[in-house]
Amino acid sequence: MPDAAGSWLTIEVDRSALTRNITVFRRLVGPSTRLMAVVKADAYGHGLLIASDAFLAGGADLLGVHSMAEAARLRAGGVTAPILVLGPVNRAEAETAVQLEVEITVASLPACRAAADSGGPLQVHLKVETGVNRQGLVEAEISEAVDVLRASGAIEVVGLSSHFADIEDTTDHTFAKAQMARFAGYRDSLAANGLDGLALHMSCSASALLWDRSHRDIARVGISAYGVWPSKETLVSVRQRGREEVALEPAVTWRVAVSQVRLVPAGETVGYGRSWKAMTDSRVAVLPVGFSDGWPRALSGGGHVLIRGRRAPLIGRVCMNLCMADVTHIPEAEAGDPAVLLGSQGEEIITPEMLADLLGTIPYEVLTLPGPTWTRVPL
Ligand SMILES: *Cc1c(COP(=O)(O)O)cnc(C)c1O
């Protein structure tokens, strides 16, 4: 049975949890730091506008998105707060940025030219290479980049940014510290090129949790604003360093309505490849969610869902739009019951970390699994 909104697949988003999480960072980074809530990837799967409103209500000063398309969705949704595009922007998108008054990141010489060709006025942040080797101008490109932007006459360089390569994956932050030193070198060479007083920013949740002021002028916070620790290593490092172990609250519940409960006689098999066999007469719940909805096939035979507050093991293979769970031990389970794939129900919980461990990935990927077939419902 679909819910009132007609959807079988629902992501419930607890807006007040998002607001409380960003409030934690508002306090942690102090009043002189601008706080950016990173809302790329549909706000880590939470719904771009729902999450952005919650973060702005909790004290975020600006929003970070990956693409110009996401920035345009925010503006179309009535968001007037400052927005910075963190990903690449081409010439046409730079023109849109001018119209929508969105700040952009330039991380290569072609990107500088695209920004300059937009005609402006446009505020840009230069992104520099300090160790990820993914996006960022290298030292030798700096003076040409400044010349290109200056020649246009209408581009204002307002920020200088970089990104950590090895911070969540380790409790040894030697490389991160070396990156901060390199970053300071870029600040000096920009000053030598006549660009002073830029907003410096090189941070993510982990660095904001680990160090004071490493974020410099703008703290960019993603995963932990959604109530999830960046990694076990970050939590361990925070404890080792005697830093405050802040309370973070996950904000999403992924829910699917059971479409039917079937009786499967002992000896019968379930699903493709006949990978599960009923050892006793069994009751099997059918859930209309599958790998095309972002519920990975790799969970076949390994994952659980929560039904009537109990864990029900997934059985057989996860299909494109369906999967099956054993509810033999939950006799009251019936069609229409809400099954929780992520989140809590009764006393039971499935966390992003649990799913990440099962899938051999990180919570970041887990949160962004559900695509457009899900309806996000703010609570
Ligand atoms: C995604 C992203 C962040 C946020 O990182 P979290 O680890 O999720 O806090 C910060 N900065 C940039 C440039 C990003 O792309």
Is 233 found in the same domain as 267?
no
Evaluate: CB of 220 within 6 angstroms of ligand 1. yes
Residue from 44, 186, 232, 272 carrying the catalytic annotation? 272
User: Cα–Cα distance between 149 and 109 in angstroms, integer?
Assistant: 10
**Is the domain of 264 the same as that of 191?**
no
| CB 307, CB 285: distance < 8 Å | yes
The H-assigned helical ranges of the chain are: 15-29, 40-44, 48-57, 68-76, 91-100, 109-117, 142-152, 174-192, 205-210, 232-240, 352-359, 363-367
Active site residue 272: yes
Residue 160 has a CB neighbour count (10 Å cut-off) of 21
Give the distance (Å) from ligand 1 centre to CA of residue 166.
13
Nearest to 326 by CA among 311, 338, 339, 312: 312
Residues 58 and 21 in one domain: yes
Q: Is residue 63 in some structural domain?
A: yes
Q: Are 11 and 254 in contact (CB under 8 A)?
A: yes
pLDDT of residue 314: 98
- 29 in a structural domain: yes
What is the full per-residue pLDDT of the chain (379 aa) written as tens digits? 565 556 899 999 999 999 999 999 999 999 999 999 999 999 999 999 999 999 999 999 999 999 999 999 999 999 999 999 999 999 999 999 999 999 999 999 999 999 999 988 999 999 998 888 888 999 999 989 999 999 988 999 999 999 888 888 888 888 888 889 999 999 998 998 889 889 999 999 999 999 887 668 999 999 999 999 999 999 998 899 889 889 999 999 999 999 999 999 999 999 999 999 999 999 999 999 999 999 999 999 899 999 999 999 999 999 999 999 999 999 999 999 999 999 999 999 999 999 999 999 999 999 999 999 999 999 9
Type of residue found at 145: A
By residue range, what is the domain housing residue 302? 252-350
Query: Residue 304 domain-assigned?
Result: yes
64/93 same-domain check: yes
Q: Is 133 helix (H, G, I), strand (E, B) or coil?
A: coil
List all residues 6 or more positions away from 281 whose beta carbon is below 8 Å from its beta carbon. 263, 264, 265, 266, 328
Distance CA 284, CA 291 (A): 19
Q: Give the total number of structural domains in the chain.
A: 2
Q: What is the distance between the alpha carbons of residues 71 and 245, in angstroms, rounded to a whole number?
A: 33
Closest ligand 1 atom number to CA of residue 364:
8
Under a CB-based contact definition with an 8 Å cutoff, are residues 287 and 322 in contact?
yes
Token reading at 361: 């990935």
Structure tokens at 18: 């998002």
Give domain status of residue 221, yes or no: yes
Residue 51 sits in a domain of what CATH number?
A: 3.20.20.10
Measured distance CA(252)–CA(190) in Å, rounded: 42
Q: Is residue 162 in contact with ligand 1, taking CB distance under 6 Å?
A: no
CA of 222 relative to ligand 1 center, distance in Å: 5
pTM > 0.75: yes or no: yes
Domain annotation covers residue 376: no
Residues near 372 by Cβ (< 8 Å), separated by ≥ 6? none
**SS3 per-residue string spanning 170-195:** CCCCHHHHHHHHHHHHHHHHHHHCCC
Distance 192 CA to ligand 1 centre (A): 29
Pocket test for ligand 1, best of 89, 220, 364 (most atoms within 8 A of CB): 220
Q: Whose CA is nearest to atom 6 of ligand 1?
A: 222
CA 249-255-259 angle, 5° bins: 170
Same domain, 209 and 259: no
User: CB of 230 closer than 6 A to ligand 1?
Assistant: yes
Q: Are residues 149 and 193 in the same domain?
A: yes
* 3-state DSSP assignment of residue 319: coil
Per-residue pLDDT, 256: 98
Q: Which of 212, 240, 268 is the endpoint of a domain? A: 240
**Is residue 80 one of the residues assigned to a domain?**
yes
Position 176 scores a pLDDT of 86
Which residues, other chains included, contact 101 with Cβ-Cβ below 8 Å and sequence gap of 6+?
A: none
Neighbours of 331 (CB within 10 A): 10
290 lines ligand 1 (CB under 6 A): no
Q: Assess whether 162 and 223 both reside in one domain.
A: yes
Give yes or no for residue 221 CB within 6 A of ligand 1: yes
| Judgement on whether residues 208 and 292 belong to the same structural domain of the protein | no
Tell me the C-alpha distance between 68 and 337, whole Å.
40
- End position of a domain, from candidates 213, 240, 267: 240
For residue 111, being part of any structural domain is answered with: yes
Is 34 within the bounds of a domain?
yes
Does 222 share its domain with 161?
yes
Q: Do 258 and 225 belong to one domain? A: no
CA 347 to chain centre: 27
Query: Where residue 261 sits, what CATH number does that domain have?
Result: 2.40.37.10
Per-residue model confidence (pLDDT) at position 182:
92
Q: What confidence score (pLDDT) does residue 6 get?
A: 62
Do residues 71 and 51 share a domain? Answer: yes
Domain end among 208, 240, 272: 240
Statement to judge: residues 41 and 168 lie in one domain:
yes
